[in-house]
Amino acid sequence: MFDTHTHLYDAMFENSQEIIGKCLEKINLLLMPGDNYSNSLKALELSESFKNVYCAVGLHPLEVKEDYQREIEKIIDLCSNAKIKAIGEIGLDYYWIKDERERKRQREAFILQIQKANSVKLPIIIHDRDAHEDTYQILKQYPPLYGGVLHCYSGSLEMMEKFLSLGLYIGLDGPVTFKNAKTPKEVAAKVPLNRLLVETDSPYLSPEPKRGQRNDSLNLKYIIKAIADIRGLNEQELADITEQNGRRFFGIE
């Protein structure tokens, strides 16, 4: 199994080293994306302590301030480290941000980070919340040359087809296990298997039967089981397919 999106450096974990060690007893690979310079650095430092842990560095849309260019430059300066396998998570979040000036700044930071990812030859991890059309238009106009994944995909089937047409991957998380989550289940049924990544987004979005509790990468098995059941596949088969997809996407042998 490969948890391609987990924030095990988060302050909700009292001992990140310990929880990572426990997760690696069951999970083959972990990738921890950053959301600002400080957390990108934490993810990088932790990844250097474990053989099968990697990271991404980036500026999350909710972390985009007026001086975002300076923060992005500091983040990109880290990218000579071989443990860094992507730029992310980056993108747009219109759920929390309603002010159009702030949304415009998010779009500018997103475009800049796509361009930076292209310059350092890395794929991108995309955060898209309530901003599907703007996210699509930016990705269409400024394509990530080394690939991208729609992390915790929350759009429609029709929107998924548009993203897939750009060569992107789809990441599915805990919501696919929720009983009344119609759209994530529809997406899980239709996404091409060679474009599917699985994630926990821990410590958030705990899957059933752990919903409401702090999430960690050990819960990836519930997400894999839910998708395997929807697809009529063996759980180990889906775990193997998604691990290979993750290795290919992030360039991990």
The DSSP code for 253 is -
What are the pLDDT digits (tens) for 130-150? 999 999 999 999 999 999 999
pLDDT at 221: 98
pLDDT at 133: 98
What are the pLDDT digits (tens) for 153-169? 999 999 999 999 999 99
Sheet holding 196-198, edge to edge: 2-3, 29-33, 53-57, 84-93, 124-129, 148-151, 169-172, 196-198
Q: Which residue has the tokens 């426990």?
A: 22
Three-class SS of residue 89?
A: strand
* Mean model confidence pLDDT for the chain: 97
The residue-averaged pLDDT of 118-140 equals 98
pLDDT tier at 187, thresholds 50, 70, 90: very high
pLDDT at 97: 94
Q: Which residue has the tokens 């800049």?
A: 112
**Assigned superfamily of 2-250:** Metal-dependent hydrolases (3.20.20.140)
What are the pLDDT digits (tens) for 4-49? 999 999 999 999 999 999 999 999 999 999 999 999 999 999 999 9
Three-class SS of residue 86?
A: strand
pLDDT at 183: 95
What are the pLDDT digits (tens) for 45-84? 999 999 999 999 999 999 999 999 999 999 999 999 999 9
pTM assigned to the model: 0.97
Report domain extents, the chain.
2-250
